[in-house]
Every structure is written in structure tokens, then in C-alpha cells.
A = this chain, B = another copy of it.
Amino acid sequence: MKKIEPRTLSGFMELLPDEQILFNQMKETIENTYKKYGFLPLDTPVVELSEILLAKAGGETEKQIYRFSKGDNDLSLRFDLTVPLSKYVAKNYGNLSFPFRRYQIGKVYRGERTQKGRFREFYQCDIDIIGDGELDIINDAELPSVIYEIFTSLGFKDFTICINNRKILNGLFESIEQKEKSTEILRIIDKIEKIGKEAVEKELEKLEISKESIEKIISFIEIDGTTNEKLEKLTKMDIKNETFSQGLEELKKVVKYIKTFGIPSSNFKVDLTIARGLDYYTGTVYETFLDDYRELGSVCSGGRYENLAEYYIDKKLPGVGISIGLTRLFYKLNELNLIKAEKKSISDVLIIPIIEDLEVPILVATKLRKLGINTEIYLNDKKLKTKFKYADKLKIPYVIIIGEDEVNSKMITLKNMESGNERKIDIKKLDELKL
């Protein structure tokens, strides 16, 4: 028979089992943390009507989308988890309890140009808190504590959650009467780390902004010091603008409660240059960086938005959320060898029978499984060496060999594959076994 070459599409991650085990542990850590904060699970379809998914989209997003027809339907694969959430909340508005706290971990699709470390199918891990009409600003302080717990649980110490408030930026631009240019200004400011202060000034000049206003912008983004010092300097700028004042008040409250939530001051800071997407967010914004690997970009981002579902429903639904792009994060961390795994195998024990009648090996396996110990029996007739090699390759930490001697004496030997240590165990006392 002519064979078809077995291959996977580029930009679609497919892992070998040992990497998949690591990936799943990261995913579980994130999911368990979301649950610990009481977020409800959600699972929406991967396929939706294009009319629904593209209600808002445009430009780049629309070009990247996987869109096709089936029967009379114009369908698309979801490109994020936010639009499906908007639809879901609008559709089920009457059946949900607000504030509606939901998590969703699922695959999304973007037909980007493939390059190393970029994926067309990737997991997003999102949480959002949606209010009905209003949503207290303290919610904005809780999300950083979720970020803190996740990255701590993943074994990181040196990471920084950067916080800003879009109203401060918007208010500043209003105060210098440059509101209509805010998108362009933000885009330029965003480059300051890359291109430096002078280049930023020059680009701002091209926008025909007065020298005085440019100075104000630059002195604003150069505000430095501790979080408290920054907040003080912002206050002292004495900008007479309602939006600015509101943003500053919100930021102060968020910072106050972030401390109450127990985040060490070394793990968060106010960063006035962060804007996060130009249209979507309206208040608090977050980005998270691994201090020693800033080149990875933000590993967890999000913010506050004014109205979740305006395309579908005539209700004001403000929300705040964060998202982790798990596939890319895993890829990068794995490349850097930064993933700390609790367990490197699924099985805790491999039972190797060297006897024809498998009754005792099976009974032992059944007992271990009842104790919650993941147990596998090597059921194929191979040489002992092959069986041990299997345990080795799968990194299974314990092996039990069962042959005639073990069956007759009712004593088995538990071998620790790493240390080589062996423990004799009475089969009758197996119920008391602890690994």
C-alpha cells in the first residue's frame, strides 16, 4: 500500500508524552488556581457563526481567521475566548448570577504567518469578572493576586506584575488637548524602551504636538521611584482633568488592595507606559514579566473594560480579566528549561511480571490503584531488560518485579528506580503502603 506521509500542520503544537505531561501540569496549576478563587468553568464551542465572532473584529484579526461554509452556515473558528464570553453572557444574561466570575481554558485559532514560537492553534487560559451595570474597582486588585499565585505555583520568584490605568493616560492627553491623537501617541510611547527618549520626542514632533506638551508627556512617562513615590509624583503633577483624577484614584485603590492581597512589593509595580491594546481597555491594565526573561514579552496580561457585550445586548456589563497564552509560554519555558515538574511520569509504579500466570501481578496492581497509586502492569512477553528499559524511558519512579519467588513467599520488592533502593513488602500488608 502506498503510504501517506504522517505530518502535523506547521504552527500546531503536538508534543511527545513526556512534554505533554509537563504541559498538562502547567495547565492544571492554572486551572486549580482559578478554581481556588471561585471562578466558574465555561466551555464554549470552537466553531461559531462568523456573524457572531466577527461582530467587532476587523483588520488583522479578520484576515487571520479560519472561516468556511458548511451547509448554509458561514462559520469561523474562535480566535479568542473573549468574544465567545460576550456572546455567552448576552445569551444567558437572565440565567447568570452577577458578578459573573468565569474561567475558560481552551484552544483558539489564528492563521498567522508561522515562525518559530508562534502558533496558529494555541491555548488561552482566561478569567473574567463581569458586573451587571457596575463592578467595584477592588476586583481589579484581586486579579493580580491570581497572577501572583499562578507564577509562584509554577516555581517562579522573580516576576513583576506591571499595573497602569488607561484613564491616567487618556486624562493626560485630554489635558494637553491631544485626545484625538492618543492612539498614535500611545504607539510611540510604547517604543521608548526600544528606540530611546530622543527618538520618541522626534516622532511626537511629527504629530505636530507642541514642545510644551511633548515635555509633559515625556516627564510623565519618566516618572520613576517606588510605587508610592510614583503615585505621589502623579498627584503632584496637578493635572486638572476629571478622567486623570479618576484614573489616579482607581490606581491608588488598586495598589492599596494589591498589598492587602499579600503580593510582595518586589512582585508588582506601577508602570505608566503600559497601555495594552488601544481600544479595548478603559481602566486598569496589567502585564506580567519574568524579570530574567523580559524578551519573552508579557506572560499574563489583561485589564478592565467598560462594556463586554454591547454588540449583542443592551445592558451595560463592565468587566475585568486576564489571559495567559499557555502554548507559547510553555514552548518558551521548555526551550529555556524553566519548567518545574512535580511528576515526570503518569504511572507511579510499573509492575513487571516474570511469571506466566498473571493473577498475583494483577491483584497487586488492583490494590495499588485502590490506594490512589497510578499503576501499570507490563503485559507483553518481553525480556526483563526490555521491561526495565520501558520503565526507564517513561521515567516511572518505582518498579515491582513479580515472579515465582514473590508469589510463593507473598513478599514483593519495591524498587526505587532513581536511588536503586529496594523495600520488601508483605502482599497482605499492601493496604498500608505509602510510596
Residues of A within 8 A of B (CB): 1, 3-9, 12-17, 20-21, 23-24, 35-49, 51-52, 55, 66-71, 73, 75, 77, 86-88, 90-92, 95-97, 99, 101-102, 107, 109, 111, 121, 131, 134-136, 138-139, 142, 145, 149, 257, 260-262, 309-314, 346-347, 350, 358-359, 362-363, 366, 369, 372, 374-377, 379-381, 389-390, 393-394, 396
The complex places the Cα of A58 from the Cα of B12 at a distance, in Å, of 25
Partner of A52 from the list B1, B6, B13 (CB cut-off 8 Å) is B6
Nearest CB in chain B: distance from A14 CB, A: 6
Contact B17 A136 (CB under 8 A): no
Contact A40 B23 (CB under 8 A): no
What is the copy number of this chain in the assembly?
2
Nearest CB in chain B: distance from A129 CB, A: 8
Pairs A–B under 8 Å by Cβ, sample size 30:
A3-B313, A5-B312, A6-B52, A6-B309, A6-B312, A7-B87, A7-B91, A8-B44, A8-B48, A8-B87, A9-B48, A13-B45, A14-B44, A14-B88, A16-B95, A17-B41, A24-B43, A36-B372, A36-B374, A37-B376, A38-B374, A46-B46, A47-B109, A47-B121, A70-B111, A99-B380, A139-B380, A257-B358, A260-B359, A262-B363
Contact A358 B260 (CB under 8 A): yes
Nearest CB in chain B: distance from A196 CB, A: 38
The complex places the Cα of A89 from the Cα of B73 at a distance, in Å, of 35
Partner of A310 from the list B1, B90, B312 (CB cut-off 8 Å) is B1
Contact A99 B379 (CB under 8 A): yes
Partner of A41 from the list B43, B99, B107, B346 (CB cut-off 8 Å) is B346
Contact B311 A36 (CB under 8 A): no
Chain B residues whose CB sits within 8 angstroms of the CB of A380 once the complex forms: 99, 131, 134-136, 139
Contact A23 B43 (CB under 8 A): yes
Contact B38 A346 (CB under 8 A): yes
Contact A12 B52 (CB under 8 A): no
Chain B residues whose CB sits within 8 angstroms of the CB of A142 once the complex forms: 377, 379
Chain B residues whose CB sits within 8 angstroms of the CB of A394 once the complex forms: 40, 97
Contacts A16-B95, A36-B375, A101-B376; A381 near B136 (Cβ below 8 A): yes
Nearest CB in chain B: distance from A240 CB, A: 28
Contacts A1-B310, A7-B91, A312-B6; A17 near B40 (Cβ below 8 A): yes
Partner of A261 from the list B14, B362, B374 (CB cut-off 8 Å) is B362
Contact B393 A45 (CB under 8 A): no
The complex places the Cα of A247 from the Cα of B227 at a distance, in Å, of 75
The complex places the Cα of A45 from the Cα of B377 at a distance, in Å, of 30
Chain B residues whose CB sits within 8 angstroms of the CB of A90 once the complex forms: 6
Contact A374 B35 (CB under 8 A): yes
Chain B residues whose CB sits within 8 angstroms of the CB of A55 once the complex forms: 4
Contact A257 B17 (CB under 8 A): no
Chain B residues whose CB sits within 8 angstroms of the CB of A376 once the complex forms: 37-38, 101
Contact A21 B41 (CB under 8 A): yes
Nearest CB in chain B: distance from A315 CB, A: 10
Chain B residues whose CB sits within 8 angstroms of the CB of A46 once the complex forms: 46, 107, 121
Question: 11 new A-B pairs (CB below 8 Å) besides A24-B41, A24-B43?
Answer: A3-B312, A7-B49, A9-B45, A13-B45, A16-B92, A39-B346, A46-B46, A138-B379, A139-B380, A261-B366, A262-B366
The complex places the Cα of A4 from the Cα of B73 at a distance, in Å, of 16
When C-beta atoms are compared, the residue in chain B nearest to A40 turns out to be B17
Contact A45 B12 (CB under 8 A): yes
Chain B residues whose CB sits within 8 angstroms of the CB of A346 once the complex forms: 35, 38-41
When C-beta atoms are compared, the residue in chain B nearest to A391 turns out to be B97
Interface-central residue, A23, A36, A67, A68, by most chain B CB under 10 Å: A36
The complex places the Cα of A393 from the Cα of B1 at a distance, in Å, of 60
Chain B residues whose CB sits within 8 angstroms of the CB of A149 once the complex forms: 369
Interface-central residue, A3, A16, A38, A363, by most chain B CB under 10 Å: A38
Chain B residues whose CB sits within 8 angstroms of the CB of A47 once the complex forms: 9, 12, 66, 77, 109, 121
Interface-central residue, A101, A139, A309, by most chain B CB under 10 Å: A101
Chain B residues whose CB sits within 8 angstroms of the CB of A366 once the complex forms: 145, 261-262
